[in-house]
Structure 1
């Protein structure tokens, strides 16, 4: 047997399979994809960066056309937003948004976890129909239910009440939470639950001490999305609240007056109101990535 014949395939040099791209072409494709990713990132980041820059300009510099990039910086927009110019204080509106978002998110998690458990780990009969029913509740446009909800709130004395927003945000986010958590809880090993039940654990103990820790990334992702949806909601808050239960997005619309649009102050207010959502996203970034990718790879 010759040396060439006895040599292993790796020593003889493996040839690329037919139709495979060459290394040079693969590098070009990767470079183009990288450039495309940077372009997409800049398209999404530039408006936010421009808003931040405009918030530090004076109203005269912010209103110039074309915009003045190198204008002097000032904190006047932030001072006026926080009531330094004699305007209303934003703290009650921010507190109302925080209260409505946090309490509604907690209510959604308490209700969605048992529902997702019944639809994934211990599936009920025709569980796919149940999931479709949850999804069908999101097909109705929000504006279609605005008048009945307004009349109900008026007749029950719930207008301009933050607890009404908690109830509405809970009902709005519950279908999405059940759909998300059903897929997350389907990845929980059934053997863990059966072992806990053999040890005498009841359903509340199983949910809080077995299922919840294993599905923590998915629960965190669901909670973050529900919080963002509640914080950004404007339609119901604009119609059903006035002064007492006014939320941050409604407070933001108050800067559009008959005198015109004060661009620098609006940019400063938008940045401040967006900070809680951005902070929550950065704080739960690892859990969000784990939760949204849970079950994606088998």
Structure 2
């Protein structure tokens, strides 16, 4: 059989697609290499992890993970992990409860000058975090909220609420107005409309917003470092405890980083379809 020569535009398009595919693979590998390196270092002993250049073929061990979980007599990470879970999950739920009605008012039932309102919401994220650290510390000290995980819940809620309203407003704009009008004709009130009509339709966007707020809350360290001590210490703050005056325990730090990163990675992997669908909602008309 004789092969049919492809037209020049088709060959050019295939070469371009192959080049873009190769670039995507190289970019993905470049982003994955630091994570894989951290995982490999966490499985080495401290002497092997501290060598320069590092030993790729060094013996593997779980000593770093045993030390992280307190097998060597160190502090247990479970209270810090529980505090991070409480602060992240509770603040994310509060953000969703508050952001959904606000986004509904700015998209489906827009208020006057709604673009100015959205810009005001987003402008609150432009303030450097460190600029508000001292007033918040003084407030927490005078009200007895220092080293309290519920203070972190309130802070993370207020920090993530503007970006959540901004994101969900664009998602809710894709909800057909006809189904809302049909629900109103049937006598549904606003809470019922939000819970049974708007939320299911905008589910991917809500899931994407929740995941991003959860990641921001889980990774936050500045406020947690200053406003907490032992009782409300979060996982990122606990991680910094492995950097001491005695030196940097690299294998233990990498093991702790892997464990602390697992909840975020697991949540992202579980909701990846909703995240992609939510972030691309309304991108194609």
Deviation at 1:36, TM superposition (A): 1.4
Distance apart, 1:26 and its partner CA: 2.5
Per the alignment, residue 3 of structure 2 pairs with none
The answer as to 2:22 corresponding to 1:29 is: no
From 120, 125, 146, the equivalent of 2:133 is 146
* Residue in 2 that maps onto 1:267: 254
How is 1:56-95 mapped onto 2 (pairs within 5 angstroms)?
Answer: 56-95=43-82
Q: Is 1:41 paired with 2:4? A: no
In the TM superposition, what are the counterparts of 1:64-213 in structure 2 within 5 Å?
Answer: 64-213=51-200
> 2-side partners of 1:195 and 1:185: how far apart?
17
- Tell me the alpha carbon deviations over residues 182-239 of structure 1, each in whole angstroms, 9 at most, x when there is no partner: 0000000000000000010000000000000000000000000000000000000000
- Cα distance in 1 between the residues matched to 2:175 and 2:24: 34
Instruction: Give 1:39 shift.
Output: 1.3
Q: 2:235, 2:164 → 1: CA distance?
A: 24
Q: Tell me the matched-pair count.
A: 280
SS of equivalent residue, structure 1 residue 138: helix
Name the CA distance, whole Å, in 2 between partners of 1:262 and 1:114. Answer: 47
Residue in 1 aligned with 2:235?
Answer: 248
Instruction: Give how far 1:35 is off.
Output: 1.6
Larger CA Rg, structure 1 vs 2? 1
What runs of 5+ residues in structure 1 fail to find an aligned partner?
1-14
SS in 1 for 2:125: coil
SS at match of 1:22: helix
Find the partner of 1:235 among 202, 209, 222. Answer: 222
The DSSP-based 3-state class of the residue aligned with 1:184 is helix
> What do you get for the CA RMSD once the two structures are aligned?
1.1
Could you give the per-residue CA deviations for residues 248-283 of structure 1, whole angstroms, max 9, x where no partner exists?
000000000001111101000000000000111111
How does the TM-score come out when normalised to structure 1?
A: 0.92
Q: Secondary structure at the match of 2:29?
A: helix
Structure 2 runs not aligned, ≥5 long = 1-5
* Structure 1 residue corresponding to 2:272, chosen from 259, 282, 285: 285
